[in-house]
């Protein structure tokens, strides 16, 4: 964030080390322009973490909307999204954290747990950044008909049922995908469609 606010160029990558080999953390600076909706970039980060792990290790991972990557039911990576700067020159920082090895908290797993070998962190970062390069290019060109189905296909519960909070009422529905702002699109049973902005809007996921 300090580098971004001081003019760090788009594409700058800062690596935070491997946390005693337990986790791999790194961040990427983007400069999306003043007139661009930026919410989808947070979801693109999660997608790229999942796709990068798949390509580097062969482990089948899924996105747990909006900011976790899971293998089976256990979390193997997480992302976060920070934005700031003046309105005419905003910046975005995408943060990535991948679990390399345990012990970890309940509900989490690591690459070492699943592979029984250590991965090359630099190669893993390279695969994630390669995915990010393609997805960011599509976002810049507003290729939403191409990138939204890719993201939606990697959702952990695509086509599955959820319960959403709609005006204080619990309404069940089916997950259809995401929209160009990063919201989860849910077809509600007999009552139209909901677009959920964050996980607080889901009562059962």
User: Where residue 47 sits, what CATH number does that domain have?
Assistant: 3.30.930.10
3-state secondary structure of 23: strand
Q: What is the mean pLDDT of residues 86-95?
A: 89
Domain count, the chain: 2
Q: How far apart are CA 116 and CA 121, in angstroms?
A: 15
**Would you say residue 199 has pLDDT above 80?**
yes
Which pLDDT belongs to residue 17? 60
Per residue in 37-76, pLDDT (tens digit) is 788 999 999 999 999 999 999 999 999 999 999 999 999 9
Could you check whether the bond before residue 111 is cis, i.e. omega within 30 degrees of 0?
no
* Same-domain check for residues 17 and 48: yes
Domain assignment of residue 63, yes or no: yes
Closest by Cα among 133, 147, 119, 130 to 58:
119
Which pLDDT belongs to residue 148? 96
Structural domain for 66, as ranges: 2-151
* Same-domain check for residues 72 and 171: no
Q: How confident is the model at residue 205 (pLDDT cuts 50, 70, 90)?
A: confident
* Same-domain check for residues 57 and 109: yes
Residue 185 maps to which CATH number?
2.30.30
**Strand order in 62-64's β-sheet?**
13-15, 23-30, 91-99, 74-84, 68-71, 62-64
**Would you say residue 81 has pLDDT above 90?**
yes
* Same-domain check for residues 62 and 144: yes
* Same-domain check for residues 104 and 173: no
* Same-domain check for residues 56 and 123: yes
**Would you say residue 18 has pLDDT above 70?**
no
Which pLDDT belongs to residue 187? 92
Q: How far apart are CA 50 and CA 1, in angstroms?
A: 24
Partner residues linked to 177 by β-bridges: 185
* Same-domain check for residues 112 and 147: yes
CA atoms within 13 A on the CB side of 125: 18
* Same-domain check for residues 75 and 106: yes
* Same-domain check for residues 73 and 173: no
pTM above 0.85, yes or no: yes
């Amino acid at each position: 964030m300090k580098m971004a606010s001081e003019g760090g160029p788009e594409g700058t990558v800062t690596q935070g080390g491997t946390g005693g080999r337990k986790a791999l953390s790194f961040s990427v600076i983007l400069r999306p322009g003043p007139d661009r909706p930026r919410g989808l970039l947070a979801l693109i980060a999660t997608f790229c973490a999942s796709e990068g792990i798949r390509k580097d290790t062969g482990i089948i991972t899924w996105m747990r909307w909006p900011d976790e990557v899971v293998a089976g039911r256990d979390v193997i990576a997480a992302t976060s999204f920070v934005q700031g700067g003046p309105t005419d020159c905003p910046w975005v920082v995408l943060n990535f954290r991948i679990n390399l090895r345990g012990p970890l908290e309940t509900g989490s797993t690591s690459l070492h747990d699943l592979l029984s070998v250590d991965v090359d962190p630099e190669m893993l970062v390279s695969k994630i950044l390669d995915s990010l390069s393609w997805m960011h290019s599509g976002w810049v060109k507003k290729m939403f008909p191409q990138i939204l189905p890719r993201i939606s296909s990697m959702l952990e519960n695509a086509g599955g049922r959820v319960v959403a909070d709609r005006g204080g009422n619990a309404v069940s529905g089916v997950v259809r995908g995401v929209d160009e702002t990063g919201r989860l699109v849910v077809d509600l049973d007999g009552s139209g469609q909901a677009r959920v902005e964050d996980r607080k809007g889901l009562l059962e996921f």
